[in-house]
Amino acid sequence: DIQMTQSPSTLSASVGDRVTITCRASQSISSWLAWYQQKPGKAPKLLVYKASSLENGVPSRFSGSGSGTEFTLTISSLQPDDFATYYCQQYHTYPLTFGGGTTVEIK
Amino acid sequence: EVQLVESGGGLIQPGGSLRLSCAASGFIVNTNYMSWVRQAPGKGLEWVSVIQSGGSTYYADSVKGRFTISRDDSKNTLYLQMNSVRAEDTAVYYCARGKADNWYDPWGQGTLVTVSS
């Protein structure tokens, strides 16, 4: 199975900060990576697919990059609505696997 | 509007069976990949199973041989038959639509399955 490792697991930041979350795959997954945002008690929401393609309706302050084994999700200017948990997911190979999540907290 | 609504969760004893349903509206289930993903209380996301548009199915090792994914085209509904359940199957179960491949949007609101005696 492909292991997905996110860092950090928790991140404290302020409104307006630039935030970067890293996701590493245990083997190359090309660009077959998605990012999701999840708020407490809610279902995940797709943000990015194919590593860097922004889903329709997602604010442009979100961006994804990377290929192979290392990927990043960047929020250029953190907004109050962005405090949530973020997950990466590989879809190169079954079983599909998720990272452990990164919780973005208010500093 | 594209929407998914899960049902069928509840309290079940270890070793028992349960069937989850996911009713879809706004799109045709059998033209998309459809997955079940679960989330244990306070934990991260764990993929459970997928049924591809062509009907092929895949499972996580943790549920293989115990869970079965299926769909009813006449009802535009996805199912997850859960047999021989264990305490570690306790989770919120989400269904989700694959967009062109195995990235998912939208997701349903989730249904809670609690396995306990």
pLDDT of B55 > 90? The answer is yes
Q: Do B46 and A98 touch (CB under 8 A)?
A: yes
Residue B101 has pLDDT above 90, yes or no: no
Residues B30-40 pLDDT 10s: 999 999 999 99
Strands (E), chain A: 4-7, 10-13, 19-25, 33-38, 45-49, 53-54, 62-67, 70-75, 85-90, 97-98, 102-106
| Selected residue of B102, B109, B112 to mutate for chain A interface (largest A Cβ count, 10 A) | B102
CB atoms within 10 A of CB B60: 20
* Average pLDDT along chain A: 97
For chain A, 107 residues long, give each residue's pLDDT as a single digit of tens: 999 999 999 999 999 999 999 999 999 999 999 999 999 999 999 999 999 999 999 999 999 999 999 999 999 999 999 999 999 999 999 999 999 999 999 88
Cα(A28)–Cα(B10) distance, rounded to whole angstroms? 39
Q: What percent of chain A has pLDDT over 70?
A: 100
State the SS3 of B2-32. Answer: CEEEEECCEEECCCCCEEEEEEEECCCHHHC
CA A38 to chain B, closest CA, distance in angstroms equals 10
Per-residue pLDDT at B99: 86
Please tell me which of the candidates A43, A87, A97 has its beta carbon nearest to residue B108. Answer: A43
Mean pLDDT of B82-90: 98
B44–A101 C-beta distance less than 8 A: yes
CA distance B31 to B97: 10
Whether residues B104 and A43 touch (CB distance < 8 A) is answered with no
